Every structure is written in structure tokens, then in C-alpha cells.
């Protein structure tokens, strides 16, 4: 997957170094968290097995965008 992604990035004229399969997967979970999609539903698509690992992306979004962050 990673090799395909990098090849496609190069073909699109992008710097392949900036793209990775892990980046797609983590970016997907970050975006689902921003959109308020339940973690379990997102994990069905990302195929994360560890709730702890997947939740780390949700927790990061909550720290940056949650109600507590808006107080500051």
C-alpha cells in the first residue's frame, strides 16, 4: 500500500516523502473525530484492533477542539 501511495503521489507531482499509508490511516481517524463520528464506527473502517491506539487520535482532537480548549 505504501509503495502504491508514494508512486501515485509522484505521478501527481507531489513529494512522495510527505505521504505514507500510516498517514492516511491516522488522518482518517483524526478527521472522523473532528466530524463527531463514533470511534467504534471509525475503527470498523480503519481496521484498528486496539481501542487504545485508535482513541489516541480522538483524544488529540478533543484536546485541541474540545470545550476545555475553548476556555483558553
Q: What is the pLDDT of residues 20-53, one digit of tens each?
A: 988 888 889 999 998 989 999 999 999 988 999 8
pTM (2 d.p.): 0.69
Structural domain range at position 21 = 2-71
As for how many domains the chain has, the answer is 1
**Does residue 57 contact residue 50 with C-beta atoms inside 8 Å?**
no
Name which residue leads in pLDDT, 12 or 63: 12
**Does residue 59 contact residue 30 with C-beta atoms inside 8 Å?**
no
Amino acid at each position: 500500500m505504501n509503495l502504491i501511495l508514494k508512486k501515485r503521489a509522484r505521478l501527481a507531482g507531489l513529494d512522495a516523502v510527505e505521504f505514507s499509508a500510516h498517514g492516511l490511516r491516522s488522518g482518517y481517524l483524526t478527521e472522523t473525530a473532528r466530524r463527531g463520528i463514533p470511534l467504534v464506527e471509525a475503527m470498523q473502517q480503519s481496521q484498528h484492533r486496539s481501542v487504545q491506539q485508535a482513541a489516541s487520535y480522538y483524544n488529540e482532537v478533543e484536546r485541541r477542539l474540545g470545550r476545555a480548549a475553548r476556555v483558553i
